[in-house]
Structure 1
Amino acid sequence: MSKLRVLVTGPFGEAGEAILNHLYDEDKYEFTFLNLEDHPEYETHVADVADYDAMRPAFDNQDAVIHLAAQSDAGADFRDVIEPNIIGTYNVLKAMNDAEVETLIFASSQRVMGLYEEDHAPELYEEDYPSKFDPLRLTHETLPKPDGYYGASKMFGEHICRNHARREGAPNQVYALRISSVRTERYDHPYGDAERGVERGEEHKVEEGEVWDQSQTGSWERGSEDYERMVKRMKATWTSQRDFAHLLECCLEDDSVIFDVFYAVSDNAARWFGTEHAKAVLGYEPKDDASEWDSPPKPTNTAE
């Protein structure tokens, strides 16, 4: 049985690490990587997705593309997202068309729906949060409300991907994944962002109405109000590496979708993003639920 050849753009970030840890060694896949810089352990086609001529050869002889490369700072300026997120996504679609690559998994973001969090936080982080949505649960049909230029650029990406999927030529299968909080292996748990804040060792007070995420530089003491608030947020938005890798597999193995949107989030009790659509269409079966955690993992003792 031949392997599925998969090109991954931007594979060495937090979301890409889930592929390296959970899918890379699977016999059914043959991965190729495209990145801005070379990597000492993985053979990599070095190119900028905003440079079409440089990145185009990486798409030859591929069966699918997982497009992760992007400016991922939620607070990015408009000028910062034009080349990597807008031109880069267009170039990926054009290269797929030219190389006749049929399947695209597009890394969208929960920030496409970011204003819902901004409007309802921090009460939103409670499992029993009451609202007119009773409870607030966003679906693939809910009106998008980006909370910045980054989120808006991902919304643009979804729309241009839909446009290409409905036209003649490749790609003709597009899976837009609105990714929540995927973290590196060290912080791959609901206490990850809070623990990272502790390790920064600097004081920062979260202001009223402020929405925090991994892109910001706040830090706090373990057990503080800010620490507990960050834990509550991650208990709603956490996407474990193994659940994210599983969802990618569901997309790679599916042959029914032309274009569709799915939320990449674990089966957290406090989540406000719906997973029912991914379960029904793709057979997504997340294994992790942040509510099952009541403390961070114990540090590994490396002493001999």
Structure 2
Amino acid sequence: MAAQNVLVTGPFGEAGEAILNHLADRDEYEFTYLNRSDHPEYETHVADIADYEAIRPAFEGQDAVIHLAAQSDAGADFTDIIEPNIVGTYNVLKAMEDAGVEKLIYASSQRVMGLYEEDHAPELYEEDYPSAHDPFRLTHETLPKPDGYYGASKMFGEHICRTHARRAGAPNQVYSLRISSVRTAEYDHPYGDAERGVDRGTEHAVDDDEVWDQSQTGSWERGSDEYQEMVQRLKASWTSQRDFAQLLECCLEDEDVTYDTFYAVSGNDARWFGIEHAKAVLGYDPQDNGGEWDSPPE
């Protein structure tokens, strides 16, 4: 059976690393990478997704697209969002339609539901919130509440993807994945954000004779209140690289979905996003659970 040709936009960020580490060597897939800058290890079609003519050739002959490229700063201004997240997503859909590419996996974000976290945190990060008999879970049918322009742009992306999936022409299958906390391999564990803050503080202390300001550097000491809060949150929102890669594979192998929305999160005990829909529709079977960790890896 011939390998699927899969184009990945924005492949060299945290989410893309899961593809490079867990799927790129698989015989079932032949990956092509589209990025606005080159990469020393991977052959890359260099183009900005806001430039339709520049990206269009990369879509020829593809069976599927994983669209990760975006301005991913949750606090970005609207002017910084327009071209990469709105124009860029439209260009990807247009290029797929013009090239006849059938399947799109769209990288949405947990930020389309961000106000729920803002309204319920930090209690939200507890395993039994609000009770063991009635845990807080957001489903694919819960009303979206973006917490900023970034989240709103991802909500727009979901809607325009649905529009394309429901009309004549490609893509005919679209999977909107509301991605939680995927991290690079070094920090791919529920203590990752907390340990990254410790590492920042250590680097700053070594490199700078002045006293470092935690509020400005995002740094803290291991065991501090800030450290513990970051651990608690990531134990709930962690998406391991291997679980994210597995969910992508579920989408690539599926033949039935026209358009649907799924949460990309590991099987964490304290998660506030429901994964039952992804299990039922796609056969998603996460292997990792942030609640099973009681210390960072040695």
TM-score normalised according to structure 1 size = 0.93
Aligned partner of 1:31 in structure 2 is 31
| Contact kept in structure 2, 1:100 and 1:170, CA below 8 Å | yes
TM-fit CA distance, 1:91: 0.1
Counterparts of 1:139 and 1:189, CA distance in 2: 24
| Contact kept in structure 2, 1:198 and 1:220, CA below 8 Å | yes
CA deviation map 1:41-86 (0-9, x unaligned)? 1110000000000000000000000000000000000001100000
Aligned partner of 1:108 in structure 2 is 108
Q: How does 1:10-25 map to 2 (within 5 A)?
A: 10-25=10-25
Runs of at least 4 residues of structure 1 off by over 2 A?
Answer: 202-205
Q: How does 1:222-241 map to 2 (within 5 A)?
A: 222-241=222-241
Aligned partner of 2:206 in structure 1 is none
Q: Sequence identity of aligned pairs in percent?
A: 80
Amino acid at match of 1:45: H
Counterparts of 1:181 and 1:138, CA distance in 2: 16
Aligned partner of 1:213 in structure 2 is none
Q: How does 1:264-303 map to 2 (within 5 A)?
A: 264-298=264-298
Aligned partner of 1:157 in structure 2 is 157
| Contact kept in structure 2, 1:63 and 1:102, CA below 8 Å | yes
Q: How does 1:242-253 map to 2 (within 5 A)?
A: 242-253=242-253
| Contact kept in structure 2, 1:191 and 1:295, CA below 8 Å | yes
Aligned partner of 1:117 in structure 2 is 117
CA deviation map 1:100-128 (0-9, x unaligned)? 00000000000000000000011111111
Amino acid at match of 1:119: D
| Contact kept in structure 2, 1:189 and 1:240, CA below 8 Å | yes
Aligned partner of 2:141 in structure 1 is 141
| Contact kept in structure 2, 1:203 and 1:220, CA below 8 Å | no
Structure 1 residues not aligned, in runs of 5+: 206-215, 299-304
TM-score normalised according to structure 2 size = 0.95
Amino acid at match of 1:120: H
Work out which of the residue numbers 214, 220, 230 in structure 2 matches 1:204. 214
Aligned partner of 1:167 in structure 2 is 167
TM-fit CA distance, 1:218: 1.4
Q: How many residues align?
A: 287
TM-fit CA distance, 1:217: 4.5
| Contact kept in structure 2, 1:140 and 1:262, CA below 8 Å | yes
TM-fit CA distance, 1:12: 0.3
Counterparts of 1:164 and 1:232, CA distance in 2: 39
Aligned partner of 2:6 in structure 1 is 6
Amino acid at match of 1:179: I
